[in-house]
Each structure stands twice: as C-alpha cells, then as structure tokens.
Amino acid sequence: MEVRVVLVEPRYWWNVGSVARVMKNFGYRDLWLVSPPPGPRDDALTAAVHAGDVLEAARVVGDLDEALSGASLVAATTSRVAGERKFHRRPIPPRELARISASEEGILALLFGSEDFGLRNEVVSSSDLVVTIPTSPEYPSMNLSHAVAVVLYELRVASMEAPPFPVPRAASHEDRERLMSLIRSIMEATGLWGPRLRRYEAAVRRVLGRASPTIWEYHALMGVARRVLLALGGEPE
C-alpha cells in the first residue's frame, strides 16, 4: 500500500521536521499536517536536514476528514492500553499492521496525535485499526518521530516481501464507514442503544479492521445488511 503519514495537531515544528527526516529514511514522502502550530518553520527545516523536500511538499489542512480523503485503510496510533472491554479497540503492534497492509492496495493513512495528548478518543474509535508500540509500561510514551520511525520500519520491511499473487482491491475507509452505518441501523432496530450499542459497534469495527474486506466482499456484506434491515422493518439509506 501507499503510506500517508498524518500528524494531527502537532505542537512543535522541530518534531514535524524530524518526522519528515524519518519518512525519507524509509522511502516515504506523503506527509499531511492537520492544524499544525502557527509561526515560522525554521526549526522544522533544521530538524529535517536533507528531507526538506518532504517537509516542503507536506499538505497542510485544517480538518482530519480532508487528510483521510481517498484512504483505503486508517490506522490510529496510541500509547494508551487498557482491558479488552474498557479500551475502544483491541490494539495491534506495528508488525501486525505491516502484515495486514502488505496484502492490500490503496492508501494507508497513519494517524499520529499531538505530543501532549495523542489522538482524541473519537478519532481512535472511528479508525479501522488501532496500533500500539509495545514499549515498557514504566514509560510508554515515545517521542513523536521515534514512534513514526518504528511503524515505518515495520512497513518498509513488509513491503520488501511482495505477495506471490495478485492483490484484490480493498474496500475504502469510506466504504467501511457506510457498512458500519448500516450495521448500526440494524443494531438500533433490534433495540440496542447507549453504551451497549457502542460496545457492539466497537467489536464489529475490530472484525472489519482485521478482515480488510475486498470491494467485492464489501458489496456482498452491504447486500446482506440491507436485507436484514428490511426484514426488521427498517429503511436502508
């Protein structure tokens, strides 16, 4: 897959420049910045060293939805890990992300949050996959560019091992969101609501994220879901 690194509300230009350098180290160039800090980029250019071209080509947007445009798979990174039922999603390590993305085509959007607070809960919940680097519990939070380096290293290694068969086109992130909306309508039609509905929805997202359905499988699942909703007396959009 093509890789798009998305920094969501980064606080320091020095870290942005360091991320650009790491990206060029591993052969990636598609950098998007969502609401970066105001002010001059001198620190970023200094930190980027010979990756100033990656930094200069970065897309700056004010909205995360714009940064995810055209993405086939969205992976949110977090250092927060909790129990299976308490956490938004079951996190996977970068190597598992690399294995999944190596068998797909399209764009993988990698989301990294601000240095202080990471990604908002709603961003993590709505992503296809949640990625956590297995750091020491004594000090789990990594420097932004170091975290990017670990994830990109695993993706780079996996990309060097080409699959021995044609890769079918994967359903896009937008496709999966449409399927999730339909599944949510089915659950609501059966009487699920509130925290229980959110837990079930999170479980379905886990399954879809790990399964990485193809575009054909997506249409098949949409067809089944529409029939179920009609049988329950609902009206598919």
Identify the residue whose tokens are 């919940």. Answer: 125
Using one digit for the tens of pLDDT, what is the confidence trace for 141-195? 899 999 999 999 999 999 887 665 666 788 888 898 999 999 999 999 998 888 8
Whether residue 117 sits in one domain with residue 67: yes
Residues 6+ apart with CB under 8 A from 28: 3, 5, 152, 155
What CATH number corresponds to the domain at position 147?
Answer: 3.40.1280.10
Reported as a pLDDT band with limits 50, 70 and 90, residue 81 is low
- Answer whether residue 78 is part of any domain: yes
Per-residue pLDDT of 121-153, as tens digits, reads: 889 988 999 999 999 988 888 999 999 999 999
Domain count, the chain: 2
Q: The domain containing residue 34 runs over which residues?
A: 2-159
Residues 194 and 130 in one domain: no
Contacts of 171 (CB under 8 A, 6+ apart): 72, 179, 213, 214, 215, 217, 218
The residue among 114, 123, 120, 112 whose CA lies nearest residue 150 is: 112
